[in-house]
Amino acid sequence: MVQLTKRSLSRRSVLLGAAAFAAGALAEAAPSLRPANLPGAVVSPDPFLSNYATARQARQAAEGRLAALLNAEGPRPPGIEYYLDRVPADLLTTPPPGLSKPVWGPSVLNTFVSRGPQDRPMVALTIDDGAVSLDETLKVIREERAGATFFLTGKYLARRKDFLQQALETPGVEIANHTWNHSNLSSLGDDQIREELTRFETMLADTVRGASSAPFMRPPGGANSERVVQVAAGLGYRTILWTISGDAGTLTPDQLVEHYLRQIDRRTEVVDGQVSYRGAWGSIILMHFRPGTCSVLPDIIREIRARGMQPVALSRLYEDGRT
């Protein structure tokens, strides 16, 4: 069930916009990519939307349903949960101009994560490195109105002030620390680990006034250790690994899309004859700035949305005090 907080109630108009978008997204869901391996898997038609002859009528009905829920003091209208489960709570039809980064104390920073909070239909889109395909990838994120966290490597970005600026001006996008040299942090001493992280942070702060890569750090190659986590935490970073990955090899574009979706669909369940993607909520998706990945990124974003989830930045996944 989507959590409706006071804050989201005050954003009623945004949610209504979300309902309209969701109605469209439902209509475009791609059945060929549904998990065929689940016995009895049937994607039931939305009980509200399927009763209407046109998309416009369906949208109006959806908005009415959502408005009724938001205004309801007493019991919720019957069946509304079914619909709301399919509304990406965060839909961001108008993404917020800036992301509010989580503020974590030492006990949280000292834990690494490979998956985020699972209470909302969101996945974090994280894109690493940045030697190539920077502008093309940012363009896709912008055009698709998705959110993303870019884990950038300093040595690739030192001369790309324009890119850093553009990325940070893109709604829903944030920059995180993937070290200066892309070094294997677990093989370095404490001071060298600190140097790798602070050199990146200093470059970013010097390039874009007020910018910071904290509190997200990803060790290159996922080379993690208790010491890496602790040293990073001492600098205000939490170590972020991932749930879903796989664009580092030589898969064709079609294979790449299927490879990612298979990992999402593997986490689905059939509940009362309906496919639920809740098992994939909170996943942290790892990709890289690569031409092949960039070319299929719009497809992957659309397929994530067709499964009722919204691709967002880590700060969005962890907003409102989540840990």
Within 79-138, the residues that bind Zn ion by CB under 5 A are 128-129
Which residue, 51 or 187, is less far from Zn ion as judged by CB? Answer: 187
Q: Which of 132, 96, 62 is nearest to 315 (CA)?
A: 96
Q: How far is the CB of 208 from Zn ion (least distance, A)?
A: 21
147 binds Zn ion (CB under 5 A): no
CB of 199 to Zn ion, least distance (A): 16
Nearer to Zn ion, 280 or 285 (CB): 285
* Residue 298 per-residue DSSP state: H
CB of 60 to Zn ion, least distance (A): 47
Nearest approach, Cβ of residue 26 and Zn ion (Å): 36
The span of 59-67, 70-78, 191-199, 215-223 binding Zn ion (CB under 5 A) equals 215-223
Structure token pair of residue 196: 């790798």
**Is 105 in contact with 263 (CB distance < 8 Å)?**
no
Q: Is the peptide bond before 75 cis (omega within 30 degrees of 0)?
A: no
The beta strand positions in the chain, using DSSP E, are 122-129, 148-152, 173-177, 216-217, 238-239, 269-271, 274-276, 284-288, 310-312
**Per CB under 5 A, which region of 99-107, 134-142, 212-220, 300-308 contacts Zn ion?**
212-220
Residue from 116, 220, 308, 311 that binds Zn ion (CB under 5 A)?
Answer: 220
Q: Closer CB to Zn ion, residue 244 or residue 309?
A: 244
- The torsion angles phi and psi of 176, rounded to 5 degrees, stand at -125, 170
d(CA 225, CA 222): 9
Residue range at the interface with Zn ion (CB under 5 A); choices 102-110, 134-142, 220-228, 235-243: 220-228
One-letter amino acid at 145 equals: R
Nearer to Zn ion, 154 or 220 (CB): 220
CA 32, 36, 40, 41 torsion-angle sign: negative
Least distance to Zn ion from the beta carbon of 220, Å? 4
Distance CA 256, CA 300 (A): 9
Indicate the residue whose CB is closest to Zn ion: 128
Question: Measured between alpha carbons, how far is 137 from 227 in angstroms, rounded to an integer?
Answer: 33
CB of 250 to Zn ion, least distance (A): 17
By the 8 A CB rule, do 287 and 128 touch?
Answer: yes
Contact positions toward Zn ion, by CB under 5 A? 128-129, 220
